[in-house]
């Protein structure tokens, strides 16, 4: 089986490539390195002791993508490539619509031409906006609050319309909750440029003394300790969910969306506590105003993924906190 992974050098893509190779799939990565580094390829190969094929291309480039599909016999595509920074998407909406939508349309056109009609797509829990109740089920109403989220919802709509027009397609839409953690080797992980927006990358930089203190965005939410509550999932569990989704699209035609989370919610203060205790370190913090646009709580109903994909997250919050920090410590050690 040949699996084409768009955005395979990125955070979730690289972990998924490792799991695919571990399961003996052939992996072909297309990535333009707009948010990743080429050295990730070597790291994936070191971890797995297997080879990957790598094309440094923009998937908006129809001609080059068409050549790749002519050269390789692709069975299934996992489509990670896209921009993902919520705040930037508010400031530069056209950049997000152009890259996320254009790349997907180009990819789907080329797949159609080459009669490759099996795709797993990276969506996000952001498509639920402010959920009507918890836990969140896939059938809940969808709406978005920023251009990034809107690109995800638009792509879900495009995929639905495509399937309605041609029932030969097999499409799995994966709605990720909050991926954190890293591979236990410490070789691959999450590396946002500049000051991180998301909680775990920020905590890691504070613990690593690159940033002074964490700002906790509000402690007056309707949650157990007043701080925001989210469904954090270890990226390796998430990657394994993709293997199950690949099996699903190989087996069954159709289109379906699945929540990938743990089904459990943790508050910001619980994350800090777990991080400090498992890593034997301190994360200085101060409580500040709520972040505009944030919701109080968000966690998944995971029964559909459990039943239909035969998948469930196994790793715990302590594993997530330990592996997130291990990646950064390992990088620092390697620079010495
Ligand atoms: P990432 O930025 O680490 O990886 C994305 C990869 O895609 C990068 O390597 C980048 O260079 C590449 N890329 C972007 N545009 C491209 C293009 N036009 N052509 C070729 N390559 C391109 O992001 P990630 O965290 O690994 O996320 C992967 C996917 O999952 C994204 O679609 C993201 O929106 C989605 N997602 C991520 C999260 C999260 O918290 N990380 C949550 C929900 C959904
Ligand atoms: C963010 C994105 C969302 C995306 C999700 C998963 C925003 C507004 N939303 O949501 O679209 O789907 O990541 O990648 O960026 N927090 C702090 N201090 C910080 C950072 C975060 O207290 O410095 C708090 C937040 O208020 C929240 C929790 O930590 O309660 C998690 O925040 P974050 O990691 O940014 O994820 P989401 O808010 O779920």
Average pLDDT, the chain: 97
| pTM reported for the whole predicted model | 0.98
Ligand 2 is surrounded, with C-beta below 6 A, by: 86, 124-126, 149, 178, 197-199, 202, 214-217, 228, 230, 268, 291, 293-294
pLDDT, residue 331, reads 81
The CATH number that applies at residue 112 is: 3.40.50.720
The answer to the question of residue 315 being in a domain is no
In the chain, DSSP assigns E strands to 2-6, 26-30, 53-55, 76-79, 118-124, 170-176, 178-180, 214-217, 229-230, 232-234, 254-260, 266-267, 285-288, 297-298
The answer to the question of residue 165 being in a domain is yes
Q: What domain count does the chain have? A: 1
pLDDT of 148 strictly over 90: yes
9 CA distance to ligand 2 middle (Å):
23
The answer to the question of residue 58 being in a domain is yes
The answer to the question of residue 94 being in a domain is yes
Closest residue to atom 6 of ligand 2, CA basis: 178
Closest residue to atom 18 of ligand 2, CA basis: 216
pLDDT of 332 strictly over 90: no
Ligand 1 is surrounded, with C-beta below 6 A, by: 6-7, 9-13, 30-36, 58-60, 80-82, 84, 99, 103, 122, 124, 176, 179
Q: Which ligand is nearest to the CA of 238?
A: 1
Report residue 214 as tokens: 């964490």
228 CA distance to ligand 2 middle (Å):
9
Answer whether 297's CB lies under 8 Å from 226's CB: no
The answer to the question of residue 148 being in a domain is yes
What are 27-70's pLDDT values in tens digits?
A: 999 999 999 999 999 999 999 999 999 999 999 999 999 999 99
- How far apart, in Å, are the Cα atoms of 274 and each of 63, 76, 90? 49, 38, 32
The answer to the question of residue 225 being in a domain is no
The answer to the question of residue 211 being in a domain is no
The answer to the question of residue 111 being in a domain is yes
Whole domain around residue 131: which residue ranges?
Answer: 2-181+233-261
What are 245-260's pLDDT values in tens digits?
A: 999 999 999 999 999 9
pLDDT, residue 192, reads 80
Atom of ligand 2 nearest to the CA of 227: 30
pLDDT of 21 strictly over 70: yes
Catalytic residues: 148
128 CA distance to ligand 2 middle (Å):
14
């Amino acid at each position: 089986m040949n699996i084409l992974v768009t955005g395979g050098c990125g955070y979730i893509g690289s972990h998924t490539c490792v799991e695919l190779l571990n399961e003996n799939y052939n992996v072909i990565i297309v990535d333009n390195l707009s948010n990743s580094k080429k050295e990730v390829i070597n790291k994936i190969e070191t971890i797995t002791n297997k080879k990957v094929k790598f094309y440094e291309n923009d998937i908006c480039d129809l001609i080059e993508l068409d050549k790749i599909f002519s050269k390789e016999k692709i069975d299934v595509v996992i489509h990670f490539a896209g921009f993902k920074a919520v705040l930037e998407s508010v400031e530069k909406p056209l950049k997000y619509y152009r890259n996320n939508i254009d790349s997907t349309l180009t990819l789907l056109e080329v797949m159609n031409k080459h009669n490759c009609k099996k795709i797993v797509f990276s969506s996000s829990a952001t498509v639920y906006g402010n959920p009507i109740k918890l836990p969140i089920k896939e059938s809940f109403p969808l709406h978005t609050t920023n251009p990034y989220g809107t690109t995800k919802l638009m792509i879900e709509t495009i995929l639905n319309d495509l399937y309605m027009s041609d029932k030969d397609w097999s499409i799995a839409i994966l709605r990720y909750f909050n991926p954190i953690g890293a591979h236990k080797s410490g070789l691959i992980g999450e590396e946002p440029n500049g000051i991180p927006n998301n909680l775990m990358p920020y905590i890691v930089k504070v613990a690593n003394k690159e940033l002074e203190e964490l700002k906790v965005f509000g402690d007056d939410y309707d949650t157990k300790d007043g701080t925001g509550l989210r469904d954090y999932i270890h990226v390796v569990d998430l990657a394994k969910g993709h293997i199950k989704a690949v099996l699903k699209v190989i087996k069954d035609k159709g289109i379906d969306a699945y929540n990938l989370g743990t089904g459990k919610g943790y508050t910001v203060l619980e994350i800090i506590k777990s991080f400090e205790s498992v890593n034997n370190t301190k994360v200085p913090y101060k409580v500040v105003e709520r972040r505009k646009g944030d919701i109080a709580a968000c966690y998944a109903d995971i029964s559909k993924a459990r039943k239909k994909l035969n998948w469930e997250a196994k790793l715990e919050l302590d594993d997530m906190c330990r592996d997130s920090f291990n990646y950064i410590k390992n990088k620092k050690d390697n620079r010495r």
